[in-house]
Amino acid sequence: EDQVTQSPEALRLQEGESSSLNCSYTVSGLRGLFWYRQDPGKGPEFLFTLYSAGEEKEKERLKATLTKKESFLHITAPKPEDSATYLCAVQADSWGKLQFGAGTQVVVTP
């Protein structure tokens, strides 16, 4: 059975304190791994898609990496506006459903 596990569940950071979020997955035939950001009461906002082990993508203070069993989302020098829940999701088929992890809630304090 496909599984997506994110850790830690919650993370409290000081502004400027870099850290990493983990997403470990088991899926038969990974088509893509996705990172989304979700603010309270809002829909998931797309950040990155990763397709194969070794791939990296960056956007502002965020960098996502992928291995055969897990993905990391690195937050470099975070700011309070980076506070959100970060969701990881896997897709096994083209145009197929996303299977989400439970998310990591990140709070960045000034």
91 touching other proteins, by CB under 8 A: yes
Q: Does 73 bind other proteins (CB under 8 A)?
A: no
CA distance 74 to 1: 28
CA–CA separation, 99 and 87 (whole Å): 10
d(Cα 2, Cα 110) in Å, to the nearest integer?
A: 38
Binding of other proteins by 97 (CB under 8 A) = yes
Candidates 10, 53, 77, 102: give the one binding other proteins (CB under 8 A): 102
Q: Which stretch binds other proteins (CB under 8 A): 10-18, 64-72, 73-81, 96-104?
A: 96-104
For the chain, state the CA radius of gyration: 13
Residue type (1 letter), 38? Q
| Total residues in contact with other proteins, by rule CB under 8 A | 24
Contact pick of 87, 90, 106, 108 for other proteins (by CB under 8 A): 87
Q: Which residue has the tokens 């502004």?
A: 15
Applying CB under 8 A, which residues contact other proteins?
31-32, 34, 36, 41-46, 49, 87, 89, 91, 94-103
